[in-house]
Amino acid sequence: MGYRVAIAGRSNADSAPLPYDEMMTAEGLVRPHYSALDRRVAALGDVELAERQRTLERFFLLQGITFTVYGGESSTERIIPTDLLPRIIPAEEWAVVEAGLTQRLRALNMFLADIYGAQQILMDGVVPRDLVLSAPSYRREMQNLFVPHKAYANVCGSDLIRQPDGAFAVLEDNLRVPSGVSYMLANREASKRTFPGTFRLAGVRAIDRYPDMLLSTLKGMAADWRPNPQVVVLTPGVYNSAYYEHAYLARLMGAPLVEGRDLVVHDNMVYMRTTTGLRRIDVIYRRVDDDFIDPLTFRRDSSLGVAGLFNAYRAGNVVICNAPGTGVADDKAVYAYVPEIIKYYLGEDAILPNIETYLCREPAQLSHVLANLDKLVVKAVGASGGYGMLIGPHASARERSDFADAIRADPANYIAQPTIQLSTAPCLIDGAIDARHVDLRPFILSGEKIVVTPGALTRVALKKGSLVVNSSQGGGSKDTWILGSEEA
């Protein structure tokens, strides 16, 4: 088997620990939860696998599971590269992830309620006041506003990585408008077709209830006196790269997919324009960034939003999910304090650790970062999607010195982390199975209660050796099988 040889033959020049492999142990043995898949893959052979990969890609293309790449005058639609070999996580490992994510989101929602309320945590000096209040994602407009169940981040997609010792850690929390859940569901459809027998025998936990769980979370956010709340999905429109997902969720929830131009605000109530007149809306699952939801309150040049929406929200006549201003809790600098935040509100240690993070705003940490640029990953606090970052070990001396200048010019805007080894998983690359780095994005819903979906999107860095998994930067995805426990 090529994969065994590839994994066994790995070495690391600078004696850093080798990345954890999802399928093979360091001793070169197949982990037990992978053995059935391993046998099935061997039985199929490379030619049949390649054929099934093509079938899979055709399925995505026909379904229109594409994102649009804009360049010059033309734009093309591409499918997100998808890999047919599932990534498998055993029940006992998932139990830790589930508990850790639940704990984390509980604490972050409490943090948001505090920040936009009494600000006790700032007064107690656990998180520096200026760090929070000067964050671009902090929304003064949200101060003292009632949010049902204190559930600010109704939909959260955290990025986890597996460290060389096999333990999961949180790389990033996404509390604004996390995307990718449609790929999780589409990948599952595809892998059921690709490996039906193996899938059935493995006892994979079902994820197909996600849309109705999302709908009931959203409905649960509506005021009690609105017995049959009207939920809509607000999309920036067909040109948004995640448009497929917006339409997909709307379709599976049976909720209208609306754009800003479909909505009007009158007397602080939000209505949509239907063929038979105006109809009142109770809950908006918005997939539009804070900045663009209401030109009267946030960015004036936004044509995606609805004028007056925020006032209707403030008046309690409509609920916006996720709440505006949740981004302050996934700010890359605030991230460094999340373990303390958990301790502060829950009195517990974080179940899922953070990645060690240096804040360039602290002079001592800044000089450490500048002295070790060749070993660190540096990220701009406000950026996402893999943009505005420097991967020290892979950068040229020139890129590093340019980045050092940028950091010195605005240290508060940067954080740094050690180069983390993402775990590797077997992927079908050009007809042969090879190891590629992967991360894990589970999806957590929070309303009256917090629910972790027993599934996740595994993102794959398709370039050999690359650690960048973002789809905008050449990343792909694969299905993730969470196995049920023996008793279940």
Partner 1 sequence: MMLARVADSLYWIGRYVERAEHMCRLSDVMLNATLDRTDAAAQVTRIVQAAVGDPETDAVMTPYEMARSLALNREDHGSITTSLSRARENARQVRDQITTETWERLNLVYLRVTGDGAAKAFQDGSSNFLNEIISDLHMFKGAADATMSHGEGWGFLLLGMYLERAQLIARLLKVCFGDDKQPPVTDHSALTSLLRMSCALEPYLRRYTADIQPRLILEFLMFDEDFPRSLRFTTSRIAEHLAGLGGYMDHARHTGPERLAGRLKARLQYADVANLQIRDASPMVGTVLDECAAIHSDIYDTFVAYSLEMRLPA
- Rounded to whole angstroms, the Cα distance separating 161 from 183 reads 19
* Cα separation, 253 vs 243, whole angstroms: 15
Binder of partner 1 out of 79, 80, 160, 250 (CB under 8 A)? 250
Cβ-Cβ contacts under 8 Å for 191 (sequence gap 6 or more): 84, 86, 199, 479, 481
- Interface with partner 1, residue 264, by CB under 8 A: yes
Binding span for partner 1 by CB under 8 A among 47-55, 236-244, 317-325, 373-381: 236-244
- Decide whether 257 or 336 has the Cβ nearer to partner 1: 257
Positions 14 through 73 that interact with partner 1 (CB under 8 A):
61-64
Q: Which is nearer to partner 1, 28 or 64 (CB)?
A: 64
Among 111, 243, 285, 298, binds partner 1 (CB under 8 A): 243
Contact residue for partner 1 among 89, 108, 135, 258 (CB under 8 A)? 258
Whichever of 259 and 290 has its CB closer to partner 1, that residue is 259
Q: How far is the CB of 402 from partner 1 (least distance, A)?
A: 40
The verdict on 367 binding partner 1 (CB under 8 A) reads no
**Binding to partner 1 in span 307-326, by CB under 8 A:** none
Contact region with partner 1 (CB under 8 A), list: 5-13, 142-150, 270-278, 346-354: 270-278
Structure tokens at 464: 């050999």
SS3 at position 325: coil
State which of residues 273, 408, 449, 464 lies at the interface with partner 1 (CB under 8 A).
273
Which range of residues in 135-143, 177-185, 257-265, 355-363 is near partner 1 by CB under 8 A? Answer: 257-265
If one asks whether residue 256 binds partner 1 (CB under 8 A), the answer comes out as yes
Segment near partner 1 (CB under 8 A); pick from 239-247, 421-429, 439-447, 459-467: 239-247
Smallest separation (angstroms) from partner 1 to the CB of 204: 23
Q: Exactly one of 20, 111, 183, 248 binds partner 1 (CB under 8 A); which one? A: 248
Contact pattern for partner 1 over residues 79 through 118, marking x by CB under 8 A: ----------------------------------------
Question: One-letter amino acid identity for 193?
Answer: R
CB of 415 to partner 1, least distance (A): 38
Is 272 a binder of partner 1 (CB under 8 A)?
yes
Run of H or E residues at 142? none
Considering only the stretches 113-121, 192-200, 264-272, 379-387, report the one whose residues sit in contact with partner 1 under the rule CB under 8 A.
Answer: 264-272
Report residue 204: phi and psi, to 5°: -80, 140
CA dihedral 356, 359, 362, 365 (to 10 degrees): 50
Helix 210-219 to helix 243-253 angle, to the nearest 10 degrees?
Answer: 80
End-to-end CA distance of the chain: 34
Q: Which stretch binds partner 1 (CB under 8 A): 138-146, 202-210, 265-273, 351-359?
A: 265-273
Stretch that binds partner 1, among 98-106, 163-171, 267-275, 306-314 (CB under 8 A): 267-275
Which pair of structure tokens corresponds to residue 283?
């809950």
Q: Does the protein bind partner 1 through residue 244 (CB under 8 A)?
A: yes
E-strand stretches of 242-366: 257-258, 263-266, 269-274, 277-280, 283-286, 319-321, 358-359
Are the C-beta atoms of residues 257 and 246 closer than 8 Å to each other? yes
Minimum Å gap between C-beta 64 and partner 1 is 5
Rg (CA), the chain: 23
- Residue 397 lies near partner 1 (rule: CB under 8 A): no
Binding residues for partner 1, rule CB under 8 A, total: 30
Tokens encoding 371 = 């002295």
CA distance readout (Å), 114 to 170, 190, 343, 352, 383: 22, 43, 14, 22, 25
Q: Which is nearer to partner 1, 169 or 264 (CB)?
A: 264
Least distance (Å) between residue 116 CB and partner 1: 32
Smallest gap from Cβ 271 to partner 1, in A, equals 8
Q: How many CB atoms lie within 10 A of CB 74?
A: 7
Nearest to 286 by CA among 255, 254, 331: 255
Rounded alpha-carbon distances, angstroms, from residue 396 to 308, 353, 403: 49, 31, 11
Stretch that binds partner 1, among 41-49, 120-128, 254-262, 363-371 (CB under 8 A): 254-262
Nearest-approach distance from CB 278 to partner 1, in angstroms: 5
One residue of 113, 247, 296, 346 binding partner 1 per CB under 8 A: 247
Cα–Cα separations (whole angstroms), residue 484 to 101, 258, 276, 342: 18, 37, 48, 28
The runs of H, that is alpha helices, within 26-139 are: 35-63, 91-115, 120-123, 129-133
* Residues in contact with 437: Cβ distance below 8 Å, sequence separation at least 6, in sequence order: 19, 421, 422, 423, 424, 460, 461, 465, 466, 467, 469
Longest CA pairwise span in the chain (Å): 69
Q: Which is nearer to partner 1, 267 or 430 (CB)?
A: 267
Asked whether position 276 contacts partner 1 by CB under 8 A, the answer is yes
Q: Which residues bind partner 1 (CB under 8 A)?
A: 61-64, 233, 237-238, 243-244, 247-248, 250-251, 256-259, 261-262, 264, 266, 271-279
